[in-house]
Amino acid sequence: MASLRDTRRRIGSVKNTRQITRAMKLVAGAKLRRATEAATAAKPYQQTLSRVLTRVVAGAGSVEHPLLNVPDNETDIVIAVLTSDRGLCGGFNAQLLRKVQIDVDAMIAEGKTVRLLAYGKKGNAYFSSRGYDVAEAHLDLDPDDYSDIADKLAEKLMSEMAGNAFEKAYVAFNDFRSVMVQDPTLAQVLPMVLDTDESDDQGGDFIYEPDGTEILGRLLPMALRTQIFQSFLETQAGEQAARMAAMDNATRNASDLIDSLTLVYNRARQAAITTELTEIVSGAEAL
């Protein structure tokens, strides 16, 4: 009977776990809808701003701007790594962190000095425990503050670039493609790179007033902030999608385990009953 009791307790424990994972799946699904709407709503603005910048550069010809110029620094690299603060989201953080580590190791092998800015507990813990240079750690981030956080990061990078503190700056994040797909991405944000080869038949039909240099002076910092902000939104949407998928798998696995344990319990119970009946019959025949 001890075996039956242990199996029954284990079934109860797995049922409690299933309730938790099911509740977490529902919470992640609700957050995912909001995060997806925010990321989707912001993306057309970023794409339109990028097209406007491309047209301005194409129409203005040779344009100089500090955010487009390569700093006088050939050794230092800055990477802002965007991860989640919480776990239970499958391989969402692991796939990004492995990619960033490979890229960082390659940069170090080329003689570069890489400085990491960690946004999220998972990225900070991962690189700190492995001896990498984590210059800053921003933990327990509130999605409502992403706009302010992105602005501060953009201002910091622009200030450091003006002081030639790095050669290039990157943002590492999971690009949200769908509920099942989040693509680990390492995007260069400074110096900014504009696709001037993009075909646009309307590029030469515009006359800009004021000139292209002044327009870029206003639009480039805006584009940088928008790109970083979009990275935070993509990270939030991807995190909730990965957590919902992970909790859905955990719930289904718990159900399968409950079914398996229930079968074991019923067989053991049936065997115990059969043994008792055999003993009773044998005792009656002995009398």
Query: pTM for this one?
Result: 0.84
107-138 residue pLDDT tens: 999 999 999 999 999 999 999 999 999 999 99
User: Phi-psi bin for 32: left (phi > 0), alpha (psi -120 to 50), beta?
Assistant: alpha
DSSP-derived letter for residue 74 is S
68 neighbors 224 (Cβ within 8 angstroms): no
* Known active-site residue 89: yes
Give residue-wise pLDDT tens across range 191-245: 987 765 554 544 455 666 666 677 778 888 999 999 999 999 999 999 999 999 9
Pick the catalytic residue: 14, 56, 78, 89? Answer: 89
Spatial contact of 24 and 242, defined as CB atoms under 8 Å apart: no
Is CATH 1.20.1740.10 the classification given to domain 2-26+248-286?
A: no
Q: Inform me whether the pLDDT recorded for 63 exceeds 80.
A: no
> Which sequence spans correspond to the domains of the chain?
2-26+248-286, 29-244
Rounded CA-CA distance 250/229 in Å is 32
Burial class of residue 85 (count of CB atoms within 10 Å of its CB; 0-12, 13-18, 19+): middle
**CATH code for the part of the protein at 29-244:** 3.40.1380.10
